[in-house]
A = this chain, B = another copy of it.
Amino acid sequence: MKSPRRAFAEVAGSIEHRSPAASKEEPTVPIQSDLDILVARQNGRALAQQLGLSTGDQTVIATVISELARNILLYARPGWMILEVLETDGRKGLRVVARDDGPGIADIERAMQVGYSTSGSLGLGLPGVRRLVDDFEIFSRVGEGTTVTITKWKP
């Protein structure tokens, strides 16, 4: 169910914070309420199905979107979810970008550990999402916001 290829990057530097307005052709879903979580994950499942991902991978995409949207709601609302279909070297994949202008994460490595949470929650979200996807990138700058980008490739 999972491709063994996996890239991981923690970027905490001077990369330009990507503006959601910059990507015009992609559907951007604002995340401001629990209903938005539902809409975002239904959009994600529909796109995954359209792309021909298995029902297992559709569930993975919907769940990942749910976890990332939930983090925006909890820690950094408002934020946005951007869904896009990738095609590189004959491979197809679905990319999810969760982006917010919230407080940012000071210690990303810590936030990625199982059990670490600042909200008394389970602290499973970020490490779990990383395990579920093929590519995972998190960029955060304190005071500016957080961007998590994941990709699930079609096997």
In the complex, chain A residues 89-145 whose Cβ is within 8 Å of any chain B Cβ: 112, 114, 118-121, 127-128, 130-131
**Do B119 and A4 touch (CB < 8 A)?**
no
By a beta-carbon cutoff of 8 Å, the part of chain A in contact with chain B is 4, 6, 8, 34, 73-74, 112, 114, 118-121, 127-128, 130-131
A8 partner residues in chain B, CB cutoff 8 A: 118-119
**Do B120 and A127 touch (CB < 8 A)?**
yes
Contacting residue for A74 out of B4, B112, B127, B130, CB 8 A: B4
A131 partner residues in chain B, CB cutoff 8 A: 119-121
A119 partner residues in chain B, CB cutoff 8 A: 6, 8, 130-131
**Do A6 and B130 touch (CB < 8 A)?**
no
Q: Which residue of B lies closest to A131 (CB)?
A: B120
Nearest CB on B from A99, distance (A): 19
Nearest CB on B from A41, distance (A): 17
A120 partner residues in chain B, CB cutoff 8 A: 112, 114, 127-128, 130-131
